[in-house]
Amino acid sequence: MAKLCEGRVAVVTGAGRGIGREHALSLASQGAKVVVNDLGAGVDGSGGDVSPAQSVVDEIKGMGGEAVANGDDISSWEGAQRLINTAVETFGDINIVVNNAGILRDRMLTNMTEEEWDAVIKVHLKGTFGPARWAAAYWREQAKAGKEVYGRIINTTSVSGIYGNIGQTNYGAAKAGIASFTVIAALELARFGVTVNAVAPVALTRMTEGLGNAPETDEEREMRSPRWIAPIVTWLAGSEAGDVTGRIFEASGQTLAIAEGWHRGPSVKPIDDPTKIGAAVTEMLKTARPNAGMDGKDGSYPQNTIGKK
């Protein structure tokens, strides 16, 4: 039986640990040659150590696969270009880009610093844009040259971005931006034969330790294992997913789902008198679908509590 990614060349950012490591190992198990990118930084983005990436490379080679480590900073323009070049120069092509790298600088909005905002936006949002942009440019040139293009971009968004989570305005904004980036890039790159999708994972990793309730049983720990995220990413990267693009998938040990984007809800005719807006909005809110909570379900979002105790 043919493997899903047989002979393809994949780049996975933030692949030295956690979810990214699972992606790299899964892609390799399905026949992909993998560039394992990881700066080796801490959860907050500080420091650097290429050994986690090299460790994953060693695991892949131990499986009989092909891989190479890369320690470039994908949030820099030049680093992102070098990453894509590494794939082409080492393996002769680039087919799959999994944008997974990220950091956390959680803080309530009233206390968040400019540096905390900028750092998270840079790593997540620019760190998604850079590798995607250089890969897309490569595929465009292939298409112009009359070559058949096999291109897959799989981004990493978050339920914090598509549904909202307190204390993560920077992270949530970046992840919501990645979801929109995914939809638009899918529209732009379809003519080259490139698909663009995103996954919103829920898993227990270095980044999520200390967020929410810690798992207390082996069953709970298994449900929050990062291994549950890799199957959908690997499938999206594979040969069977050529007609799936512009979609956001939720993935965890509890569910695999498609997150549906913004849709227009209740509406009225335009009103040019601000004194009449209130009554119209009140009526629309009566039938408007409430925002989803972090579980993706209606009614679980904390509704307006201003002035309430």
Interatomic CA distance for residues 91 and 112, integer angstroms: 43
Are residues 274 and 226 both part of a single domain? Answer: no
Phi-psi sector, 167: left (phi>0), alpha (psi -120 to 50), beta: left
4 domain-assigned: no
Are residues 46 and 105 both part of a single domain? Answer: yes
Are residues 275 and 248 both part of a single domain? Answer: no
Residue 196's DSSP bridge partners are 153
Secondary structure string (H, E, C) spanning 131-166: HHHHHHHHHHHHHHCCCCCCEEEEEECCHHHHCCCC
Q: Is 163 a catalytic residue?
A: no
27 domain-assigned: yes
Q: How many CA atoms lie within 13 A of 219 on its CB side?
A: 1
Interatomic CA distance for residues 94 and 106, integer angstroms: 34
Of 94, 98, 33, nearest to 68 by C-alpha is: 33
Q: Give the Cβ contact number of residue 217 at 10 Å.
A: 8
Are residues 217 and 303 both part of a single domain? Answer: no
2 domain-assigned: no
What's the CATH number where 122 sits?
3.40.50.720
15 — phi, psi (to 5°)?
-100, 10
Q: Which of 138, 163, 171, 301 is catalytic?
A: 171
Residue type, 132: A
Are residues 193 and 293 both part of a single domain? Answer: no
Interatomic CA distance for residues 126 and 24, integer angstroms: 21
CA distances to 106, 119, 148, 220 from 194, in Å: 34, 29, 11, 37
Interatomic CA distance for residues 46 and 288, integer angstroms: 43
3 domain-assigned: no
Are residues 241 and 153 both part of a single domain? Answer: yes
Are residues 53 and 194 both part of a single domain? Answer: yes
pLDDT of the residue at 112: 96
1 domain-assigned: no
Are residues 209 and 302 both part of a single domain? Answer: no
- DSSP label at residue 125: I
pLDDT of the residue at 169: 95
CB 200 within 8 A of CB 155: no
Are residues 273 and 205 both part of a single domain? Answer: no
Q: Name the domain count of the chain.
A: 2
Residue 50 lies in domain? 9-259
146 domain-assigned: yes
Are residues 240 and 294 both part of a single domain? Answer: no
Are residues 210 and 280 both part of a single domain? Answer: no
Of 162, 161, 140, nearest to 151 by C-alpha is: 140
Per-run averaged pLDDT (10 residues), the chain, 309 residues? 94 95 98 95 60 96 98 97 98 98 94 97 98 98 97 96 93 97 98 97 60 62 82 97 97 93 95 97 95 81 47
35 domain-assigned: yes
Are residues 97 and 55 both part of a single domain? Answer: yes
161 domain-assigned: yes
Q: Give the Cβ contact number of residue 274 at 10 Å.
A: 7
